[in-house]
């Protein structure tokens, strides 16, 4: 059987170690430096000939050109298949032209990635106006769900939880996780007026008084969704919530601001962050192992 080769792009080394260990895959290395003019030098330190290679990319925005160079080099060196492992898949939120002249970056990014690798595997991509990644991407895609891992964590760690999705889109996670923990759930209603301006309306949750609220969201970016939802919960007399997010982006001071409103913030390790508690490495490793030839 041909052993899969995991190749971390800069910044994804720690996750790649966990992934390779979870799947029993070989961990390769990438020599990366900048020439004096700033251009990239890249060298793959393992022979990929005839092998499926999984490139782990932490942040496609910053690393896309590196990804393109490495994927092309791998093919040139005889890799049998090149998979992009993007635990967090960026450029999923600008999925429509809301104002005249805007770039619909979801589509363009998907086209670029589709020309670059043979397959994409990710966790909880932000699917809103598109139902499936295949509506954007022209390559086979695997979208894994972190909900079972999150549900198991809550069932283990929190007594008498009340699962709360802060907006209509989050109902898909909230409902599944609540079923898994045998807890009730509620979905709030969110109006976003700007990147950092979010308003949340909350139904009367008095029926669930005495429960520990758990806010569930796929992404925390500015943290404003978590902060606004926490404020509304406190207004109704609930204790500070435990916030669980799949992708802990937390730009700027978002984490410290959100932490001030929460009992605890927990995330998966799709994005390396101090709040990482739940690992998706085995989830991804199992999916990759299912692709292995032989």
* 290, 143, 43, 2: CA torsion to nearest 10: 10
Count the residues in the chain: 294
Give ∠ CA 110-111-113 in degrees, rounded to 5: 65
- Distances in Å between the Cα of 290 and the Cα atoms of 23, 134, 165 are 10, 20, 32
Q: Does 89 bind ligand R5P (CB under 6 A)?
A: no
Positions 130 through 189 that interact with ligand R5P (CB under 6 A): 167, 169-170
Q: Does 268 bind ligand R5P (CB under 6 A)?
A: no
Q: Judged by CB under 6 A, how many residues of this single chain contact ligand R5P?
A: 13
Token representation of residue 285:
């490793």
3-state secondary structure of 99: coil
- Residue 92 to residue 81: CA distance in whole angstroms: 24
The minimum distance between CB 132 and ligand R5P, in angstroms, equals 17
CB 177 within 8 A of CB 163: yes
The minimum distance between CB 190 and ligand R5P, in angstroms, equals 7
Token representation of residue 199:
């308003």
Interface residue with ligand R5P, options 224, 238, 241, 271 (CB under 6 A): 224
Q: Which of 51, 63, 190, 273 is catalytic?
A: 190
Of 160 and 199, which CB lies nearer to ligand R5P in the complex structure? 199
Of 220 and 283, which CB lies nearer to ligand R5P in the complex structure? 220
Q: Does 223 bind ligand R5P (CB under 6 A)?
A: yes
Non-local (6+) Cβ contacts of 100 within 8 A are none
Q: Does 124 bind ligand R5P (CB under 6 A)?
A: no
Q: Does 275 bind ligand R5P (CB under 6 A)?
A: no
* 190 in catalytic set: yes
Q: Does 247 bind ligand R5P (CB under 6 A)?
A: no
Of 170 and 270, which CB lies nearer to ligand R5P in the complex structure? 170
Of 25 and 109, which CB lies nearer to ligand R5P in the complex structure? 109
CB 225 within 8 A of CB 217: yes
Closest CA to 85 of 115, 118, 62: 118
The minimum distance between CB 128 and ligand R5P, in angstroms, equals 6
Of 219 and 265, which CB lies nearer to ligand R5P in the complex structure? 219
CB 158 within 8 A of CB 150: no
> What x-and-dash track marks residues 42-81 binding ligand R5P by CB under 6 A?
----------------------------------------
Closest CA to 89 of 116, 64, 118: 64
- Distances in Å between the Cα of 81 and the Cα atoms of 13, 116, 263, 287 are 21, 11, 44, 15
The minimum distance between CB 102 and ligand R5P, in angstroms, equals 17
The minimum distance between CB 156 and ligand R5P, in angstroms, equals 25
Non-local (6+) Cβ contacts of 271 within 8 A are 58, 59, 87, 88, 247, 248, 249
Which stretch in 18-26, 131-139, 215-223, 274-282 sits in contact with ligand R5P by CB under 6 A? 215-223
Q: Does 106 bind ligand R5P (CB under 6 A)?
A: no
Q: Does 233 bind ligand R5P (CB under 6 A)?
A: no
Active site residues: 190
Residues making contact with ligand R5P (CB under 6 A) = 167, 169-170, 198, 217-225
């Amino acid at each position: 059987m041909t052993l899969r080769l995991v190749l971390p792009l800069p910044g994804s080394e720690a996750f790649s170690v966990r992934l390779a260990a979870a799947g029993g895959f070989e961990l390769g290395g990438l020599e990366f430096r900048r020439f004096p003019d700033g251009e990239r030098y890249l060298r793959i330190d393992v022979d990929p000939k005839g092998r499926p290679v999984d490139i782990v990319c932490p942040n496609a925005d910053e690393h896309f050109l590196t990804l393109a160079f490495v994927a092309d080099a791998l093919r040139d060196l005889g890799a049998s298949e090149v998979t992009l492992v993007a635990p967090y898949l960026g450029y999923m939120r600008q999925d429509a032209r809301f104002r005249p002249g805007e770039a619909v970056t979801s589509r363009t990014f998907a086209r670029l990635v589709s020309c670059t690798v043979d397959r994409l595997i990710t966790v909880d991509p932000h699917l809103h106006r598109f139902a499936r990644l295949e509506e954007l991407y022209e390559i086979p895609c695997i979208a894994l769900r972190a909900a079972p891992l999150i549900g198991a964590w809550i069932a283990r760690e929190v007594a008498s939880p009340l699962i709360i999705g802060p907006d209509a889109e989050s109902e898909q996670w909230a409902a599944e996780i609540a079923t898994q923990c045998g807890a009730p759930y509620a979905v709030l209603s969110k109006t976003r007026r700007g990147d950092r301006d979010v308003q949340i309306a909350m139904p009367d949750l008095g029926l669930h008084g005495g429960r520990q609220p758990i806010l569930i969201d796929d992404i925390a970016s500015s943290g404003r969704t978590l902060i606004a939802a926490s404020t509304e919960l406190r207004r109704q007399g609930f204790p500070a919530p435990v916030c669980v997010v799949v992708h802990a982006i937390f730009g700027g001071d978002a984490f410290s601001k959100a932490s001030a409103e929460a009992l605890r913030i927990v995330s998966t390790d799709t994005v390396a962050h101090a709040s990482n508690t739940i690992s998706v490495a085995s989830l991804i490793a199992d999916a990759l192992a299912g692709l292995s030839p032989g």
